[in-house]
């Protein structure tokens, strides 16, 4: 004869322990939508820095691939490339 567990409801296999856990989790105030955790802000800052570095790298690489004549046609010299890559 098979035994069936009819006591499980929407909480699934966690049963009473799951319901007790939900009480503790929902007992704390939710984080406001305009507040981001510090780690998210740090990640966004680091991602932005890496993206800026990569943009500068690609710009520098593209300009270095041009000949001196092509650079002269657009009004640049090889000495201008680092400043342009840094956007200064």
Is 29 among the domain residues? no
Domain count, the chain: 1
Is 30 among the domain residues? no
Q: Can you give the pLDDT at residue 4?
A: 56
Is 77 among the domain residues? yes
- Please tell me which residue, 31 or 75, carries the higher pLDDT value: 75
Q: For residues 74 and 88, what is the distance between their CA atoms, to the nearest angstrom? A: 17
Cα distances from 14 to residues 4, 10, 67, 80, 85, in angstroms, run: 16, 10, 69, 65, 57
Is 59 among the domain residues? yes
Is 31 among the domain residues? no
Is 6 among the domain residues? no
Q: Which domain holds residue 87?
A: 37-88
For 27-74, the pLDDT digits (tens) are 555 656 666 677 788 889 999 999 999 999 999 999 999 999 999 999
- Give the mean pLDDT of 11-35: 56
Is 28 among the domain residues? no
Q: Is the pTM of this model over 0.75?
A: no
pLDDT at 1 over 60: no
Is 47 among the domain residues? yes
């Amino acid at each position: 004869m098979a035994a069936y567990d009819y006591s499980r409801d929407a909480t699934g296999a966690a049963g009473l322990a799951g319901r007790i856990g939900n009480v503790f989790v929902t007992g704390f105030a939710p984080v406001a939508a305009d507040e981001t955790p510090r780690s998210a802000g740090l990640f966004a800052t680091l991602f932005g820095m890496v993206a800026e570095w990569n943009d500068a790298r690609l710009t520098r690489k593209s300009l270095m691939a041009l000949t001196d004549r092509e650079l002269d046609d657009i009004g640049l010299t090889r000495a201008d490339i680092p400043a342009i890559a840094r956007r200064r």
